[in-house]
Amino acid sequence: MQKIPVHVFPTRADAATQLALETASLIKDNEAKGKHTVLGLATGDTPVPYYKELIKWHQERGLSFATVTCFNLDEYTGLCRDHPQSYWQFMHNQLFQHIDILPENIHMPSGTVAEADIPAHCHAYEQAILDAGGLDMQILGIGRTGHIGFNEPGSPIDSRTRAVSLDPVTREDAARTFGGLAQVPTSAITMGCGTILSAKRIVLMAWGNSKADIINQALNGSVNSSVSASYLQRHPNTDFYIDAAAASALS
């Protein structure tokens, strides 16, 4: 098993600049070959500086996203697209409405599928990723529970897109955005760990002291279902882009 390369940046903006450069190169290289680029995207505070950089690439340097297909990691169960806290809204506000991605190339799990239809919806999501040619690059944050997507502790390494219950710690961390714990959904639909590990390239970002302990566990702990991000040790092309505070528990 190889160690995951860790890049410690002075600031999150520096990390975002580097990751956006890699993404822009990938999109341009694929475009030159007449190919689409398939990006797996994440929500939360972590990727916001990266999305700002991608928007700059589009607005100031003419990078087109017309050949990009996106699949988001997850969505809260019970939230319609128009809900202010839905990840649909988040992605449109933070990225999609500022770039030229085609609406038909935006894919996110739905928060409003009837319970009986969730397995078919998840299966169709997996199939859509395959039909697009698989994920070229998956962007990840990490939760304090070690989750990637909403793969909370106990998620199997070969799990696929499915409905999951949210860990109490995850719900607590979301309470501020939702204006109280009671408003935070208790479940979500998420890509599985196996879905994420099928990506050709993965970059996990983390900022701040609150992520230091879990970053250390993910990188240096055993590969274990109690920390889903530890599964990334089994992936041949994953890097961690973190700031000094998130690196502070690494020896």
Name the residue nearer to ligand PGA (CB basis): 18 or 30.
18
* Three-class DSSP category at 70: strand
CB of 226 to ligand PGA, least distance (A): 16
The DSSP string of 73-135 is SEEETT--TTSTTSHHHHHHHHTGGGS---GGGEE---S---GGGHHHHHHHHHHHHHHTTS-
Give me the sign of the Cα torsion angle 165, 104, 45, 10: positive
Q: Is 46 in the site for ligand PGA (CB under 6 A)?
A: yes
Name the residue nearer to ligand PGA (CB basis): 149 or 160.
149
CB of 177 to ligand PGA, least distance (A): 8
Q: Is 40 in the site for ligand PGA (CB under 6 A)?
A: no
State which of positions 187-246 bind ligand PGA (CB under 6 A).
none
The residue nearest ligand PGA at its CB is 44
Name the residue nearer to ligand PGA (CB basis): 63 or 75.
75
**The amino acid at 186:** T
Round to whole Å and give the CA distance between 228 and 179: 28
Query: What is the contact mask toward ligand PGA in residues 139 to 158, using x (rule: CB under 6 A)?
Result: --xxx---x-----------
Name the residue nearer to ligand PGA (CB basis): 74 or 136.
74
Q: Print burial letters for 87-105: b (CB count within 10 Å at least 16), e (below 16).
A: bbbbbbebbbebbebeeeb
Q: 163: which strand partners?
A: 189
Q: Which of 45, 117, 131, 172 binds ligand PGA (CB under 6 A)?
A: 45
Residues found near ligand PGA in the complex (CB under 6 A): 44-46, 141-143, 147
